[in-house]
Chains A and B, each alone.
Chain A
C-alpha cells in the first residue's frame, strides 16, 4: 500500500476542489439566468404564470436537494440516455438555485416602496417602463447582498453531488479516506477547504449588507 503524506492528501483534495468551483460557477450562472426568467414570470402581468412559478419554488424549496439530484439522475435516464453524473448534478443544481434566487429577488422587487410605483405611474410610465427605469434599478441594489450570501449555499450544495458519483471535493474526501484510513485528517481538511471557499463569500455578503444599510443612498 502506498503511504500518503499530508501533502499528498492536500494535493489531491485541492485538485478535486477545482470541480467544486466549476460546478458552483455553472450552477450559479445557470441558476441566475433561469432565476431571472422565473422572476419575470412571477412578477409579470400574465395571469397564469405567477402560480406556476410559485408552485415551482414551493417544490424546490420544500424537498431535499439530494432527492432532486437523484430524480435528475434517474429521471434523465428515463429518456434512454446514459446520464453522466456531472450532467445530472448541473441540471439539478441549476433548477434548485433558480428557485431560491427567483424567490430572493422577488422579495427585493416587492421591497421597493409603493410610492415609487405610484409616482412613476402618475408620470404616465407603462408597466415595463416602470420596471426598467424605476423598480429594477432599486431592487438590484437591495438584491446584491442576499445573492452573494446565497452563493455560499450553492457551494455547499455541490457537496451532495458526490452522492450521485460526481467527483468533486467531498467525493475526493471519501476516496482518500478509504485509501488512507485517516478520516479525521481528511474530512478535517475537506471542511477547511470548503470554509476557505465559503467564508470570504459570507463575509462579502455581510460587508455589502452593512455598507448598504449605512449608506442607504443612490
Chain B
C-alpha cells in the first residue's frame, strides 16, 4: 500500500465538522427528549391504558421496530408531502428520530413498568389514588430507574442511526464528511475523522445520560 494519509485539509474544513456536530447534537437532544416522552406515553398505553388504545400503539411499535430507520425517514420526507404533509429536512429528521426512539423506548419502559411489584399498585389504590395518579406518582419513577441504562443505550443507538439524515441533506456530522470528501477527495480520512467524532459523541452521550440518571433517581433503592 503506497497510499499517503493526509489530514492537512482539516485546517480548512474543521468549521464544517463543528457545524455538523452541533446539528447531530441538536437532533439527538430534541429527538431524545420528545422520543422518550412519546415512549413513556406508549408504554403506559400498552400496559395500563384503555383497551381501545392498545392495538394502534402495538401496531405503531411493531411497524417501527421492524422497518429500517432510513425507510422511515424517506417515507416521512419524500412520501408524506404526496399526502399533503410537507416538512423541512430538519423537521423530517427530527420527527423520524422521535417516532423511532418512541417505539423502541416504549418497549423498554414497558418492561420497567411490568416489573413493578403488584403491591405498589395496591398501595396506590388503597390510598385512593386514581390509576393515572398511581402511575404518575408511584409506578413511573421506579420503572424508569429500573431500565435507565437500557434507555441510555437506546438513545445512543438512535444518535448513531441519525447518520443517515445526511441522505435528505440535513447538514449533520455525516454531511460534513460527505462535503469535505467531495472537495478534498480524501474520502477515507474524512470518514475516519467523522467516525472518531461519532465514537467520542457516543461515549459522552452515554456518560451524560447515566450521570443524568444518577441525578434524576438519587435513591438507589427505589428500583427494587
Residues of chain A having any CB pair with chain B under 8 Å: 59, 62-68, 70-71, 74-75, 77-80, 152, 156-157, 159-160, 162-163, 170, 173-174, 177, 182-184, 186-188, 190-191, 194-195, 198-199, 202
Q: Which 8 A-B pairs have the closest CB atoms?
A: A159-B68, A64-B163, A183-B78, A198-B66, A184-B82, A184-B79, A67-B195, A62-B202
Instruction: Tell me if A67 and B66 are in contact (CB < 8 A).
Output: no
Instruction: Tell me if B78 and A202 are in contact (CB < 8 A).
Output: no
Instruction: Tell me if A63 and B198 are in contact (CB < 8 A).
Output: yes
Q: Which of B34-42, B133-141, B185-193, B211-219 is the interface stretch?
A: B185-193
Instruction: Tell me if A191 and B75 are in contact (CB < 8 A).
Output: yes
Instruction: Tell me if A75 and B79 are in contact (CB < 8 A).
Output: no
The A contact surface, by secondary structure, is helix
Contacts of B70 in A (CB 8 A): 159-160, 162-163, 170
**Which residue of A59, A79, A202 contacts B1 across the interface (Cβ within 8 Å)?**
A79
Q: A80-B1, A183-B79, A190-B71 are in contact. Are A62 and B199 (CB under 8 A)?
A: yes
Q: Which residue from chain B places its CB closest to the CB of A174 in the assembled complex?
A: B74
The 10 listed contacts between A and B (C-beta, < 8 Å) are A62-B160, A62-B198, A67-B174, A67-B195, A68-B195, A71-B195, A78-B1, A156-B66, A194-B66, A198-B65
Residues of chain B having any CB pair with chain A under 8 Å: 1-3, 62-63, 65-72, 74-75, 78-83, 156, 160-164, 167, 174, 177, 187-188, 191-192, 194-195, 198-199, 202-203
Q: Complex: how many Å from CA A202 to CA B199?
A: 28
Instruction: Tell me if A177 and B78 are in contact (CB < 8 A).
Output: yes
Contacts of B78 in A (CB 8 A): 177, 183-184, 187
Contacts of B74 in A (CB 8 A): 170, 173-174, 177, 183, 187, 190
Contacts of A64 in B (CB 8 A): 160-164, 174, 195, 198
Instruction: Tell me if A202 and B203 are in contact (CB < 8 A).
Output: no
The B contact surface, by secondary structure, is helix
Q: A64-B174, A66-B164, A75-B188 are in contact. Are A187 and B66 (CB under 8 A)?
A: no
Known: A67-B163, A67-B177; 10 extra A-B contacts, CB below 8 A, are A63-B199, A64-B195, A77-B187, A79-B1, A170-B70, A174-B74, A187-B78, A191-B71, A195-B67, A202-B65
Q: Which residue from chain B places its CB closest to the CB of A71 in the assembled complex?
A: B191
Contacts of B65 in A (CB 8 A): 152, 198, 202
Instruction: Tell me if B68 and A194 are in contact (CB < 8 A).
Output: yes
Q: Complex: how many Å from CA A77 to CA B191?
A: 13
Q: Complex: how many Å from CA A173 to CA B68?
A: 13
Contacts of A67 in B (CB 8 A): 163, 174, 177, 191, 194-195, 198
Instruction: Tell me if B62 and A199 are in contact (CB < 8 A).
Output: yes
Q: Complex: how many Å from CA A70 to CA B198?
A: 14
Q: Complex: how many Å from CA A36 to CA B219?
A: 40
Residue in A163, A183, A187 with the greatest tally of chain B CB atoms within 10 Å: A187
Shortest A146–chain B CB gap in Å is: 13
Instruction: Tell me if A74 and B188 are in contact (CB < 8 A).
Output: yes
Instruction: Tell me if B68 and A170 are in contact (CB < 8 A).
Output: yes
Q: Complex: how many Å from CA A40 to CA B72?
A: 37
Q: Complex: how many Å from CA A186 to CA B75?
A: 9
Q: Complex: how many Å from CA A157 to CA B164?
A: 11
Contacts of A71 in B (CB 8 A): 188, 191-192, 195
Q: Complex: how many Å from CA A156 to CA B102?
A: 18
Residue in B2, B3, B191 with the greatest tally of chain A CB atoms within 10 Å: B191
Q: Complex: how many Å from CA A152 to CA B167?
A: 22
Instruction: Tell me if A62 and B203 are in contact (CB < 8 A).
Output: yes
Q: Which residue from chain B places its CB closest to the CB of A73 in the assembled complex?
A: B187
Instruction: Tell me if A160 and B164 are in contact (CB < 8 A).
Output: yes
